[in-house]
Amino acid sequence: MQTEHTLEIKKIIAGGSGLGQLDDGLVVMAPFVLPGELVRVVEKKRCSGHILAELRQVLRSSPLRCQPLCRHFGRCGGCNLQQAPYVEQLPLKLEIVRELLERARLSSTPVIKAVVPSPQSQGYRYKVRFHLSRNGEIGFHRMGSNDLIAITKCPLATPVINDALGELMESGLVSPAARYCRQIEYICSPDDTSVIATFFLSGGRKPPNSFISAICALKKCAGVAFCRGRKTIFSRGKFGCSQLFATGQTSYTLHWNKHSFFQVNPGQNRQLVQLVCELAGDLSESRVLDLFCGMGNFSIPLALAGAAVTGVELNKKAISDAGKNAQNAGIKGIRFIAADVTRYLQGLVGGKNHFDVLVLDPPRRGLGRTTELLVSIGSGMIIYISCDPATMMRDIRILAQGGYRLSTIIPVDMFPHTHHIECVAVLEKN
């Protein structure tokens, strides 16, 4: 028999769950709730010091609670904040960042600015990966499970991706596709809204030519690829994406292929790039090191602002894209290096290379112990961009112990209706 509890939700915590306490002080975490609500939950897992629970019923609703925009909300694991209007999600995310900052226990108190809202709260995702079940359904996994929730469209996906998904479902090719693959990824190019579809194969069987031909005949996709791991076994059509940017009186276009990382919310990415450039200040005659530079998302505008930029990225295809983007923008004083970031930083320690500003946008896991190498380099300013404020705070603590002061932190809402938060932190050398 499942154990039920009735409790009041005190706050939303990192990860998007609501937190409350039982009479004995034991912490309970449950999804899809809001602060101030009285809820009945059922235990899913009892851990050391807390309980993971599932929402059973909202007994007293928050005045902020609204009708979710997706009928699959509460079952699909993609979103966990649709119970609140978009404008009310921003303060919730700001409080999550505040709490993580308090737990970091830094000696200085930074300025925490308001969350930068996304230009679009729906239809903003230009990259979506769908899962396929063995019985021929397509959708997303249930939260905390591998069970598949079948969908026909996603309100967060840009409309052309939903159109491509609808065409695939109407073609009758989803069930045949499930015999050979478990994931399909759609990428939309921001400038021309062309769509690229990648089918990720599972097992050792190659799809028959008749099936590949049928997929390639679909009209909504400009490019189609079949991949096994990192190896492409078949591809047809276009695989390049592009986005126009404008900084002051200068405009430029970034190009990249499907192998390069790019922000899934291109409208918000424009605001993120502008924010980083503003925080960097006057870059005339400055040397900037851009770590995890990708295809030049920050390197190109920083170079156009007058900096001598060195970009470092392990992905060789992204480095190739970055070099072409610099050439197309008419930039000459810029270097791109295909290298592991940790090994590159190790090579800088004790050397004569000096950088005035260090910009980094690492993967979700952050830098960890590699952060100590940033201290050894000793740049005057560090601009740290992260999609996981928890790992970013961990790294900032290391930087603070090494003589840096966190002066400003700005949350940027790259992923509306989800618990994910992009943050930009500015650290200055004491």
Catalytic site residues?
387
Task: Quote helix, strand, coil % in the chain, to nearest 5.
Answer: 25, 35, 40
Distance CA 192, CA 255 (A): 12
Q: Where are the beta strands (DSSP E) in 276-421?
A: 287-291, 308-313, 334-338, 357-360, 381-386, 404-412
Neighbours of 231 (CB within 10 A): 8
Token match 């993609």: residue? 78
- By the 8 A CB rule, do 303 and 334 touch? yes
Among residues 79, 73, 175, 186, the alpha carbon closest in space to that of 133 is found at 175
Q: Distance (Å, rounded) from C-alpha 193 to C-alpha 216?
A: 18
Dist CA 412 CA 402 (whole Å): 26
User: What phi, psi does 411 have (nearest 5°)?
Assistant: -70, 140
Phi, psi of 97 (to 5 degrees): -65, -40
Judge contact between 293 and 336, C-beta under 8 A. Answer: yes
Query: Is residue 194 within 8 Å of residue 188, measured between CB atoms?
Result: yes
